[in-house]
Amino acid sequence: MVETIDEVLGVLRCPRTGSTLRRAGNRLLNDSGGGYAIREGVVDLVAEAPADVQAQMERSYDSVGGLRYDLLIKSRLAMWLLWGVDVGRLPKPAEEVAALPEGLVVDLPVGTGVFTVEAFKRRPDSIFLAMDYSMGMLRAAEHRARKAGVTNAVFIRADVARLPLRDAAVDAVVSLNGFHVFPEPERGAKELGRVLKKGGKFAATNVCVGERYLSDYIIERIMVPRGFVHHGRPVAAYRHMFEEAGLGDLDIQVRGALMFTRGTKVG
């Protein structure tokens, strides 16, 4: 899948300088010669933050993997206890992806690929920019995609608050289980809105508070202190955040403590 990078170079940008990038072997170079490595099928396009901030962000993202992530999100019992939902009755991730237009699609955070990698294969006419901050999760997702025979995805380490993409670059954005783990969700929403073309489609799933007492308790007393969830916010706050990012025609459904959003770039 590394060869797919050449097909998307035109939309990639240096996260530090905003300049275009060119490929030189296993590196992408900006206009001043600064480079970003391609390792184990993953392009690392993170502009490093100060050491203390960087460490905090890595703990926030990588800690989710410590929960045996794939097993947890597929467990009916765990999902009922945590969020008050029956996994078997939730919208399927593949359906969320199938509802998006063809073209260039951002999947952020891709996580281990458990939600969306199979859907990539079903959409051969699209190219997926599979992004995450956690290098561990990206490697797991890249391995899963390779094993599934996926050839239309590029795996990119990226910071949602500083996306390495030009304005109005992509046709659709999908963000499953993302906004509640983003350290800067408002900036993340604005960045996703920035890179989405006018009329482009947006789909997101995230945890919310104010809908179920037990879930609120778990989020605020257990998950936030341990870094598994970065913050808890009510549905109204997420709606406002998405609208401020230029997303409209919002269709929001709440099931238990999970919020499902579809929208369109209008601004």
83-87, 93-97, 132-136: range with highest mean pLDDT: 132-136
Q: b vs e for 92-104, b when ≥16 Cβ sit within 10 Å of the residue's Cβ?
A: ebbebbeebeeeb
Confidence of residue 133 (pLDDT cuts 50, 70, 90): very high
On whether residue 23 sits in a domain, the answer given is no
Residue 19 three-state SS: coil
Contacts of residue 48, defined as CB under 8 A and 6 or more positions apart, other chains included, come to 54
Residue pLDDT, tens place only, 141-189 = 999 999 999 999 999 999 999 999 999 999 999 999 999 999 999 999 9
DSSP 54-106: HHHHHHHHHHHHTTTHHHHHH-HHHHHHHHS--GGGSPPHHHHHHTSPSSEEE
Range of the domain at 160: 49-265
Question: What percentage of the chain carries pLDDT values higher than 70?
Answer: 88
Is residue 8 a part of any domain in this protein?
no
| Mean of the per-residue pLDDT values of the chain | 87
How many angstroms separate the Cα of 114 from the Cα of each of 101, 118, 163?
21, 8, 23
Residue for token pair 């605020």:
220
Specify if 18 maps to a domain: no
pLDDT over 80 (residue 88): no
Residue 26, domain member (yes or no):
no
User: Residue 32: what pLDDT?
Assistant: 83
The domain tally of the chain equals 1
Q: Which CATH number is 78's domain given?
A: 3.40.50.150
Q: What pLDDT was estimated at residue 253?
A: 94
pLDDT band at 80; cut points 50, 70, 90:
confident
Q: Is residue 56 included in any domain, yes or no?
A: yes
Q: pTM score, two decimals?
A: 0.89
- Beta strands 196-207 and 170-176, pairing class: parallel
pLDDT given at position 201 = 97
Residue 2 falls inside a structural domain: no
Q: End-to-end distance of the chain based on CA atoms, in angstroms?
A: 33
**Contacts of residue 158, Cβ cutoff 8 Å, sequence gap at least 6:** 15, 45, 46, 108, 131, 132, 133, 164
User: Is 68's pLDDT higher than 70?
Assistant: no
* Sequence-distant (≥ 6) Cβ neighbours of residue 64 within 8 angstroms: 111, 134, 137, 181, 228
Quick one: average pLDDT of 79-88? 81
205 conformational bin, left if phi > 0, alpha if psi -120 to 50, beta if neither: beta
pLDDT grade, residue 199 (50/70/90)? very high
44-48, 63-67, 68-72: least confident range? 63-67
Over residues 66-77, mean pLDDT: 61
CA distances from 43 to 129, 146, 225 (A): 11, 15, 31
With residues binned 3-state (H G I as helix, E B as strand, rest as coil), the percentages for the chain, rounded to 5, are: 40, 25, 35
**Does pLDDT of 65 surpass 70?**
no
Name the residue with higher pLDDT: 56 or 10.
10
Average pLDDT estimate for 74-78: 73
User: Does 205 fall in a domain?
Assistant: yes
**230 part of a folded domain:** yes
Residue 165's pLDDT is what?
98
pLDDT reading at 51 higher than 60: no
Q: Is the pLDDT of residue 82 over 90?
A: no
Query: Who contacts 264 (Cβ-Cβ below 8 Å, separation ≥6)?
Result: 199, 200, 201, 202, 247, 248, 249
CA angle 174/175/176 to nearest 5° reads: 115
For residue 209 the two structure tokens come to 């508070």
* Per-residue pLDDT at 62: 54
Q: 56 vs 53, 61, 133, CA distance in Å?
A: 5, 9, 12
